[in-house]
A and B are shown apart, each in its own frame.
Chain A
Amino acid sequence: MSHIHIPDGVLPVWLWAAGWLAALAVVYLAATVSKRSDVRRKVPLLGVVAALMLVSMSSEIVPLAYHVNLTVIAGVLLGPWLGIIAAFIVEVVLALLGHGGVTVIGLNTLVVGGEIVLGWAFFRLCVRMLGRTRVGWATGIATVLALAISTTALVGIVALAGGGAATGRETGALDPTNLTFANPFGAGVFSVNTLRGEGTVPAEAAKAPDGGLSVARFAAVVFTLGPIGWLLEALIQAATLGYVARVRPGLVFGGALSVRARTLPSHEAVR
């Protein structure tokens, strides 16, 4: 549920623009840190793990409007810095496929990237506490905790966007007459007039207190459906990572980059 499925033009401009700026700053930082060593090996690894997340996200659990993210697995395999870059790549591709808005790529990168970083941190903590034999439990706990926090962040974003009546009917709209984000028409250009074909908005209607995004209702829906999704995702990721830990434990406890690179048969000759 952490991935923001909010359409373009619903969140205020200042919010998604700030999200873009913050995400780009974090991605540039992550790229700078990641570039310090062995970039050539990281590029294909990033590509396949991001692709893995995309493939998993393409299967939706319809009644819950939920899809598996594999963020904790991505965090365990890639680590925090590459994980943030993977989150950005996944969001860009998803937005181009129409799944998620282009304007919310920045916020989505922060939320999903945060989920990857938290998943990685919680997993390592749980492994330290529970031991290496309980990878499934560690993954499950890390997944539920990371998803709970990122979902709360999602609700926080919606609260920032439209808790008050001021942003209710002007969500996402820049006022080009004065280049501010305030609503020049009060409440109701759209919903009062559009379908009735009336003229100007009565002053009483313009000052109607209602009109903001319903944060309480949104939180109620998200925190009702969300935990079912968290549990499903925890089970799937725990079983998957448990299997990987049994077959190739080095990948799980050291990350995908810890496995030594193969040497090409003709490597010496190439040099």
Chain B
Amino acid sequence: MDIRAIDVSATMGRSGLHRAAPVTKLAAFALVLGAVVTQMNALVVLALLLALAALAVGSGLRLRLVFGLAAYPGLFAVVFAYAAAPDPVTGALFVCKAVTAALAAVTLVCTTPYPQVFAPIQRVVPEIVGDALLMTYRSVFLLAEKFDRLRTAVRLRSGLSARMPLRAARASASALGGLVLYALDLSQREYDIMRVRGYEGRLRVTLPRSASPAFDAALLAAAAALFALALTFRVAGAALTPYSWLPPAASLLALTAAVLWRLNRR
């Protein structure tokens, strides 16, 4: 998980998705998630996946980052599918659902700065939870950087070689212990800073308005259409099953168009 790359993508991007209101994107994410949860037809779930991929490609997101992150839960889903699915097709459905839901989440966080993603959550959870949520994300960057430096130091000073596993393990444990101590010192420093700045138990995040209300409406309509499609196939599954190939075919066309558009822009 390269959280720094996600943050750069969220804050530096200039696509329509980046300019959309965070609340709209969260609502669209909820609708897509609802579609994934509702649907049990693998081809329809595949259609959702391809539609999201088209959106990611068309928005100019870093594909290696987005698809790499979305594929990560697929790995665990494969293990779960192998362990628990009654047949291979159901297993494929599990993996497809995992990757689709992950792609929706990753598209959201790669186009929205994290305080704006957490702001609506912060308003419905207790103060200590909402504030700690914001502090966590900030601390992750600092700790990840420190962890990288510690690993480099351990490699240079002790040598993480397979020939001396005990020494390497001892050095790694010391590095992790050092990271724990650094983390606690960091929390103390943050506490000092918050006191000086007059923190009284609530970090406030303002949500920006949309730069393009028309795009927001289109995004919401597209997400609602995906949810409606999933619901329709769920309710009238028996009658619509022979036409299950239609949604993925349409999504594939959209993906092809997005790829061509992206290539032309270069």
Q: Which residues of the other chain, A, contact B73 by a CB distance below 8 angstroms?
A: 5, 7, 98-101
- The reply to whether B132 and A185 contact each other, CB–CB distance below 8 Å, is no
Could you say which of A42, A97, A248, A264 contacts B6, with CB atoms under 8 Å apart? A97
Question: Count the A residues whose beta carbon is within 8 Å of the partner chain — how many?
Answer: 102
Could you say which of B6, B41, B132, B199 contacts A190, with CB atoms under 8 Å apart? B41
- The reply to whether B176 and A27 contact each other, CB–CB distance below 8 Å, is no
Within 8 A of A (CB), among B3-57: 3, 6, 33, 36-43
B147 proximal to A (CB < 8 A): yes
| CA gap between A162 and B194 in the complex, in Å | 48
Q: Which residues of the other chain, B, contact A128 by a CB distance below 8 angstroms?
A: none
A166 proximal to B (CB < 8 A): no
Could you say which of A39, A47, A103, A185 contacts B187, with CB atoms under 8 Å apart? A47
- The reply to whether B183 and A39 contact each other, CB–CB distance below 8 Å, is no
- The reply to whether A264 and B195 contact each other, CB–CB distance below 8 Å, is yes
Could you say which of B3, B125, B194, B245 contacts A97, with CB atoms under 8 Å apart? B3
Nearest residue in B to A97 (C-beta to C-beta)? B1
| CA gap between A215 and B80 in the complex, in Å | 11
- The reply to whether B126 and A28 contact each other, CB–CB distance below 8 Å, is yes
Given contacts A5-B76, A43-B128, A97-B1, contact A248 B136 (CB under 8 A): no
Interface size class of B (residues with CB under 8 A): 35 or more
| CA gap between A250 and B170 in the complex, in Å | 22
A residues adjacent to B (C-beta < 8 A): 5-10, 13, 27-28, 31-32, 34-35, 39-52, 54-55, 58, 60, 62, 65, 73, 77, 85-86, 88-90, 92-93, 95-103, 158, 162, 168-177, 185, 189-191, 193-195, 197-201, 210-215, 217-218, 220-222, 235-236, 239-244, 247-248, 251, 256, 261-262, 264, 270
B residues adjacent to A (C-beta < 8 A): 1, 3, 6, 33, 36-43, 69-70, 72-73, 75-77, 79-80, 82-87, 89-90, 93-95, 97-98, 101-103, 105-106, 108-109, 117, 121, 125-129, 131-140, 142-144, 147, 169-170, 172-174, 176-181, 183-184, 186-188, 190-192, 194-196, 199-201, 231, 234-235, 237-238, 241-242, 244-245
